[in-house]
Amino acid sequence: MDEFLRKFFYTVYLNKNRAKENNYCKYNNQGLAAFTSSLYLSGLVASIVASAVTKKHGRRWSIICGGISFLIGAVLNASAVNLSMLLLGRIMLGVGIGFGNQIAFRFKDFQSTRKVEKCSKKIRGTKNADAEFEDIVDASTLAKAVKHPFREILKRRNRPQLVMAIFMPMFQILTGINAILFYAPVLFGSMGFKGNASLYSSALTGAVLALSTLVSMGVVDRWGRRVLLISGGIQMILCQITAATILGLKFGNDKELSKGFSITVVTTICLFVAAFGWSWGPLGWTVPSEIFPLQTRSAAQSITVAVNLLFTFIIAQSFLSLLCALKFGFFLFFSGWIVIMTIFVYVFLPETKGVPLEEMVHLWEKHWFWKKFVAD
């Protein structure tokens, strides 16, 4: 918004309202990018600290630390009078996110194994869950014997899980979803949408993301992970190519989109967000969480969170420069990555639907590529 830019990013405010300024470069400012990306860099650092706090003191203290960080960050941002105060508040919010992400993937031991057995029967909807319960107990006992999970995940037999811990969160961010969601007002403002209209468009994409995630929750256990990831990838590719084509032909340095083409671009972006919401959005977290054996689970989840936050920071910091340099081609840049990740899923990721965690190793043993790593 102009009031925000005038107070904290005056150079951007001047560029935005300069008639001769390139439409794609109006917001190209590393300070503005740092305001967005600092949250994720601080989250990355905090997640490392949070891992140690959770392991030593439990989830309760991590939740308290994260909550205090969110509170401090919100107060600083709400009362900010200069850029330094604004950035400090943003960094504290990032600390809260770092603790929050770690808490979501850490689980303390149950005090009573009877509680675990009862939960297992309730989830499966049957009383005949004793065999599966014994498998879980055996796997848990084996996991506790592993003293150095990070060393364990680097071993050759755990290569499939290590690759997925790195590539799944990396690909999730390289869809370009964060660039679009973070900078939706900037993006729509560059296309000629005025103040409130660009904010409404941003709110629309957020609502579409939330609703499409509910769709994923309803069908993922019926259709499977691979179907959603591949079909979602294809839809995102088509949407990004369509948006790039319209912007390339109808939008330039000295002209704005007509109302009809503007609506088409917004619709295309919403379809892109919807495809992400029922595919790579939730499944970028779901698949890693269900493929790691208990022996390496803590290390693998830490890697997943760290990679996600690292690439979120990189995209958030570089997007405004990418938009200025590539213009409409930034859609093609991200669509190229989606092509790669869709092929990756088709070739390297087995279907994990309905496979218990303690039996996941058998998927890798049967896979045409990964079996040579885990066969021994």
CATH of residue 265's domain is 1.20.1250.20
23 pLDDT band, cuts 50/70/90, is confident
| Domain encompassing residue 91 | 1-109
> Which has more pLDDT, 59 or 246?
246
Whether 323 shows a pLDDT value over 80: the answer reads yes
Shared-domain flag, residues 239 and 359: yes
Nearest CA to 100 out of 70, 127, 132 is that of 70
Shared-domain flag, residues 316 and 186: yes
Q: How many domains does the chain have?
A: 2
Helix (H) / strand (E) containing 60: helix 59-78
> Which has more pLDDT, 175 or 356?
175
pTM for this structure? 0.83
Average pLDDT over residues 94-109: 72
Q: Which of 48, 77, 109 is the last residue before a domain boundary?
A: 109
Lowest model confidence (mean pLDDT) among 67-76, 151-160, 317-326, 352-361: 352-361
pLDDT in tens, 64-74: 999 999 999 99
Looking at the domain assignment, is residue 375 inside a domain?
yes
Give the pLDDT score at 109: 45
Nearest CA to 305 out of 153, 104, 160, 143 is that of 104
The whole-chain average pLDDT of the chain stands at 84
Six token digits for residue 115: 């509680």
Looking at the domain assignment, is residue 357 inside a domain?
yes
Q: How far is CA 300 from CA 152, 286, 303, in A?
A: 10, 13, 5
Q: Which of 41, 74, 109 is the last residue before a domain boundary?
A: 109
107 pLDDT band, cuts 50/70/90, is very low
Average pLDDT over residues 104-111: 51
Q: How far apart are CA 254 and CA 245, in angstroms?
A: 17
Shared-domain flag, residues 86 and 184: no
Looking at the domain assignment, is residue 373 inside a domain?
yes
Q: Which of 56, 75, 109 is the last residue before a domain boundary?
A: 109
pLDDT in tens, 188-203: 766 666 667 667 777 8
Q: How far apart are CA 45 and CA 38, in angstroms?
A: 11
For 149-192, the DSSP string reads HHHHHTSGGGHHHHHHHHHHHHHHHHTSHHHHHHTHHHHHHHTT
139 pLDDT band, cuts 50/70/90, is low
80 three-class SS: coil
> Which has more pLDDT, 232 or 101?
232
Give the pLDDT score at 195: 63
